[in-house]
Amino acid sequence: MQTINCKGTLIDLAEPRVMGIINITPDSFYDGGATTTETQIIKQASKMIEQGATFLDVGGYSSRPGATDISQQQEINRVVPAIEAIIKQFPEALISIDTFRSEVAKQAVKAGACMVNDISAGKLDSRMLETIGALQIPYIMMHMRGTAQTMKSLTEYQNITKEVLFYFSERIAAARALNINDIIVDPGFGFAKNTDQNFELLNHLELFETLYLPVLAGVSRKSMVYKTLDISAKQALNGTTALHMVALQKGARILRVHDVKPAKECITLFKQLNTSMSN
């Protein structure tokens, strides 16, 4: 199924889409502290919408490896005003709330978000899946192990692609049992995975089509890019774009990115490539 229902609008993911990242955090790995005031948030949202982002992913909890844990209330205090400000300025904006906490998800949807992006696929909050089922909104479930604080030590796999696929088959069944209709899967690049494992997953991304659900790829400026190239996250845009093309060729329907314009250009070139192949 390649369509999802956001606020009563059917979004067709047969055409790949871009999800722009807006981190309301002081400590995210790439853009921590860049969007903390309302003016900065609106400026970033405006730029991303103008450049062609279909979705804006707002997060108030840094999930980089070893990030500081914050309370649920702190997270709500960060994301709810941000979502309200974006919706006030751009009423048609499709906002995803990046959280693993059901109460944060609930408050964010009340403020205007229309989708939940959960790094834990419901494993870090036992009430998340039932909350999503009750809210009847699209749900992005990601593969990870442990928490942001512990995941770096949890990278032992026999066969990473098979294990991630098995994880999703179980989580999808749990979600379906609670009436969650629109599901997107995210293999979780960088989450409880080393560089080699990230590339192995990307290399086999087409196998995720066996789940019959849209796949989201989140490789933007991550360590799999900058460590491989021996550069910084700030210098990793070119490498990110290279991996975006690979992800698209292997079936990714959503690119979750820090840089919307280059991702949109990558999609345009990918579509042109497909057009010429079919002629």
Catalytic residues: 222, 256
Nearest to 79 by CA among 35, 133, 39: 35
Give dist(CA 140, CA 188) in Å, integer: 11
Here the tokens at position 240 are: 């990110």
Helix (H) or strand (E) holding 103: helix 102-111
Long-range contacts of 71-79 (CB under 8 A, 24+ apart): 72/101, 72/103, 72/104, 75/99, 75/101, 75/104, 76/103, 76/104, 76/107, 78/24, 78/25, 79/24, 79/104, 79/107, 79/108, 79/111
Nearest to 220 by CA among 197, 192, 191, 189: 189
For the chain, the residue count is 279
Q: Tell me which amino acid residue 100 is.
A: F
- Residue 84, beta-bridge partner list: none
Assign residue 62 a region: left if phi > 0, alpha if psi is -120 to 50, beta otherwise? beta
Give dist(CA 242, CA 222) in Å, integer: 13
Give dist(CA 124, CA 145) in Å, integer: 10
